[in-house]
Amino acid sequence: MKTTQTTTKYIEWISAEDMHTDSLHWLSQLRFIKDEHHFFEHLIATFSRELQELDIFSSDKEIIDAITRSFRKTKQLIQIVVTHEKELTIMLDAIDQPEDEKKYKETHRQLTLEIASFLKEYRSLKTQLFRIIKDIKKEDKLRSLFDKNH
């Protein structure tokens, strides 16, 4: 039996209003993530010594690099989505431009996939960072209890 690769064709029927809503939602998520990156940098600076003691990462540099890469990707995606949103006029003007409209829809489909992938990676990074901080806090609490008893 031969299997064939299928691609999602829903984009053919998506309305300009829905694409606009998607873009606004993406921008909101990406801008929030951009703000969270600043929080992560502060968190790492706060727990720098503990991170080195736990030796979870080979150095703070690994954590900072992961956050920096994520931050750069966030900024890049924000720029792409803003540009994409501005180009939505192709779908709204009264001019029939089937090739340009098709290209816009394909770009929207690709952005949908790219942003979904980025958000998945970002959630993984965020989960990993919070797990590390949670472990640090547990270790501090145990040390504090141990010091009180001795």
Task: Output the pTM of the full model.
Answer: 0.78
Confidence of residue 34 (pLDDT cuts 50, 70, 90): very high
Q: Specify the pLDDT at position 6.
A: 45
Residue 10 is assigned to a structural domain of this protein: no
To 10 degrees, the CA torsion angle through 104, 121, 44, 39?
A: 40
List alpha helices for 3-59, DSSP H: 16-46, 48-54
Written as six digits, the tokens of 105 are 């829809």
Q: Which domain holds residue 33?
A: 16-143
Signed CA dihedral, 115, 120, 126, 129: sign only: negative
Residue 3 is assigned to a structural domain of this protein: no
Residue 117 is assigned to a structural domain of this protein: yes
Confidence of residue 90 (pLDDT cuts 50, 70, 90): confident
